[in-house]
Chains A and B, each alone.
Chain A
Amino acid sequence: MIEAVGLTKRYGRTVAVDNLSFTVKPGRVTGFLGPNGAGKSTTMRMILGLDRPDAGQVRIDGKTYHQLDRPLRTVGALLDAKWVHPNRSARAHLRWLARSNGLPNRRVGEVLELVGLTSVADRRAGGFSLGMSQRLGIAAALLGDPQILLFDEPVNGLDPEGIHWIRQLMKRLAAEGRTVFVSSHLLSEMAQTAQDLVVVGRGRLIAQCTTAEFVDTASETSVRVRSPQLDRLREVLLRKGYALHVEPGVDGNALVVTGSVTSEQVGEIAAEQDVVLHELSVRRGSLEEAFMRLTGDSVEYRTDGQGPAGPAAAGSEDLMVAGGVNR
């Protein structure tokens, strides 16, 4: 269990993390989602006691990181696969880590086996490919058999096989009852692995919820209806104040009702009016759209040449969304 309360980090005048509070529960993969520069890595460094928060704190099973005795037994982390001495062998890298936390030397062999690096364990880590470095980093994270695991953008730059391997590993670790907290700027990636989401933009919490809830609440849903009495249905719906448009298709014209609308509502209205329906389907916007909508104001670096929206404006919208989704 990881609990962050009011976490804040400033670098000069830039606020990297702004009053961020969230909880990461055991037995699930929790995605830490946000655009690049949203403060994900900074937050992870604060969880691990590497960076000092300007305000707030993180508790790991009720303790701060500094209070943990032999922390690798409680928390394993892979923040950057290249954080190894290039002239040290993979085995030596794991050996000093094991020794530092009083872990038996056989754990080194075990985790090397687990990530499939046994055959290259005595080669210098500087010569490793990114995929191999990533595996070494994961071996280091698993060394103390910790109940809590942190991964920062673990699939970045990996080949499809490596991505698949990491996804399976994270799911397995969560299934074993561990707390898995994994950051990504790719929503599609998180949709594959994460059950819960902590969404941040420009250092602020945008939403904390399950991945399904996030999609339900945040993404645009629309209802598509086909009917031989399309014009009649359209009039009734318009009268009731629904936003809609006609969508031509191969199977004739269809109505697409947008805004906050459910298929139940449309179906009941149709029944009241004795309108025959040939199709009634809910269309969900993609996770990517939801993400763009929510973080649109929170992207630090834009391409449209405009500066980021004023803090007041962005703040109010974030709050609105967070209020709706947070629970």
Chain B
Amino acid sequence: MSVLGAERIKLFSTKSPWWSSLATVVFVVGFGMIFLLTTASLVREDGPAVPFRVGVSTTQQGIFFGQMVILVMAALAITTEYRFNTIKTTFQAIPGRTSVMLSKALIIGLLAAVLGEIAAFASWGLGRLLVTDFDLTIRTADQWRQVAGAGLVFAITAIIGLAVGALTRHTAGAVTALLVWAMLGEQLIGAIPRVGDKIQPWLPFNAGGHFLGVGPNQNEGAQTGTDLPYNAWGAVAYFAGVAVVLFLVAVLVVNRRDA
């Protein structure tokens, strides 16, 4: 417990997590509203001719941008320790490095989960206020998952960010690797002719997005072409699996390496 407390004090005694938290919510809500309003006006003008529908998941299209901020925030939670050598002070105070890593994962994962819930429900709530001529009420279990699931996806995202941060030990390296992979890599691999479609479901961030219905295979969006090898819960389980494997590798490396 004392290790958890120490990590909590560490996280909240600098400014960057506060700014990251604010940015996460602003990005999710901001981009979500832009997407919702443009989609709604397109559907209003062209009616059924447009291949979109406006529903609960339409309010959640900003999630991906918030997820990118979470990745950076989680990576920073450990790369700044290496940058300023406080990692040495940390391991001196707590020689059990596995418990340090677990505490960090728990704290940053919890923060990400809370931010995910706040951002997702704020997006949905604000969307209902701004767009009243479409039914945005949460009724089905799927719709609940698409909104309330953001916390889970953000927590898993944070673990991936933390693991990559611990492996690279450099802010610039970790952030570049994470963002290039999540924003560019997965799209480009998905675009490879023939095999791209088959690989795409196994790209972790796509799988996470599918759970929330905001990925390229979204339920209420444009294309639903690919036959997916898993359902929504399978998708998030796969996403979590990738995070756990990365995290275990990071814990192993951190334990073996000189601080």
Q: Which A residues fall within an 8 A CB radius of B? A: 45, 48-52, 65-66, 68, 71-72, 77, 79-80, 82-89, 92-93, 95-97, 99-102, 140
Contacts and interface: CB of A to CB of B under 8 A. Distances in A.
Contacts of A80: 85, 88
A89 B13 contact: yes
Contact of A100 (B3, B84, B259): B3
A85 B80 contact: yes
Contacts, number: 82
Interface stretch (B91-99, B217-225, B227-235): B91-99
* Chain B interface extent, by class: 20 to 34
B84 A79 contact: no
B95 A100 contact: no
Contacts of A97: 6, 89, 93
Nearest to B91: A50
A275 B89 CA distance: 66
Given A50-B259, A97-B6, A100-B93, A83 B13 contact: no
B10 interface: yes
B226 interface: no
A62 to B, nearest CB: 16
Contacts of A79: 88
B13 A96 contact: yes
Nearest to B92: A48
Interface in B4-28: 5-7, 9-10, 13-16
A186 to B, nearest CB: 24
Contacts of B86: 83-85
Interface string B90-109: 11111110000000000000
Given A66-B95, A100-B2, 5 more contacts: A49-B91, A80-B88, A87-B16, A97-B93, A99-B2
Given A99-B2, A99-B6, A99-B9, A88 B92 contact: no
Given A96-B6, A96-B9, A102-B2, A87 B15 contact: yes
B46 interface: no
A88 B88 contact: no
A49 B95 contact: yes
B258 interface: yes
A71 B14 CA distance: 25
Given A50-B91, A83-B88, A99-B9, A88 B14 contact: yes
B258 A88 contact: no
A85 B16 CA distance: 12
A97 B90 CA distance: 8
B93 A71 contact: yes
Contacts of B10: 85, 88, 96
A68 B9 contact: no
A52 B254 CA distance: 12
Contacts of A50: 88, 91-92, 258-259
A89 to B, nearest CB: 7
B95 to A, nearest CB: 5
Nearest to A91: B13
Given A68-B95, A71-B95, A85 B6 contact: no
A21 to B, nearest CB: 21
Nearest to A80: B85
